[in-house]
Amino acid sequence: MGDTDRDGPPRGVVIAALAIAVAAVVAVLAIAATRTSEPSPVAIAAAPAPRADSPECTRLLDAVPDRLGDYRRAAAVEPVPAGTAAWQAEPDGEPVILRCGLDRPADFVVGAPLQLVDAVQWFRVSDPSGAMTTWFAVDRPVYVALTLPEGSGPTPIQEISGTIAETLPAQPLAPGPPR
């Protein structure tokens, strides 16, 4: 039996067709890997923040990083409340939201438990649903809140703590009277 007695296309044609198919699959995968979905802008609800336009908040917002661990800085839905910033880990994922210039948290009273993270004292307020936790930096000239979605890990608060420590001077605590 010679080459002319075989059924099907010549071996060279089969190899060329397989090479073209593999190259096409690699090209499609490469395009998919480099293409990122644009995240939707984050809606940031307005909250009373009488010092949001203060020089301290302006300085802090100018210094916040573009990344907080896996979270990337995200655009916000207009109108963006003064003194705010947002980050997302994935498009349409739950955001990390920073607010600057807020009033003292109502539950921040004498004896309230605090957590020290990179020289910044934080007061924790948990959402009843457990889906989010808001931490208030309470030892700076303005109150700064960082709202974290469940499962965000410690990196966002650590990185914001470093930025706060570098940007805003520490000051004595001013909790409310005990209840």
Angle at 96 between CA 94 and CA 97, to 5 degrees: 120
Give the whole-angstrom CA distance, residue 148 versus residue 132.
6
Regarding whether 122 and 60 lie in a shared domain, the answer is yes
Residue appearing with tokens 């989010």: 132
Residue 17 resides in a domain: yes
Regarding whether 12 and 59 lie in a shared domain, the answer is no
Regarding whether 27 and 92 lie in a shared domain, the answer is no
- Tell whether the model's pLDDT for residue 5 goes beyond 60: no
* Helix, strand, coil tally for the chain in percent (to 5): 25, 25, 45
Stretch 61-67: mean pLDDT: 97
Domain membership of residue 11 as a residue range: 3-34
Regarding whether 94 and 9 lie in a shared domain, the answer is no
Regarding whether 91 and 143 lie in a shared domain, the answer is yes
Regarding whether 73 and 122 lie in a shared domain, the answer is yes
17 confidence band (pLDDT: 50, 70, 90): low
Residue 122 resides in a domain: yes
Domain count, the chain: 2
Tens digits of per-residue pLDDT, 18-37?
666 665 665 555 544 444 55
> What are the Cα distances from residue 171, in Å, to 25, 36, 53, 142, 174?
59, 43, 20, 10, 9
- Tell whether the model's pLDDT for residue 13 goes beyond 80: no
Regarding whether 60 and 27 lie in a shared domain, the answer is no
Residue 67 resides in a domain: yes
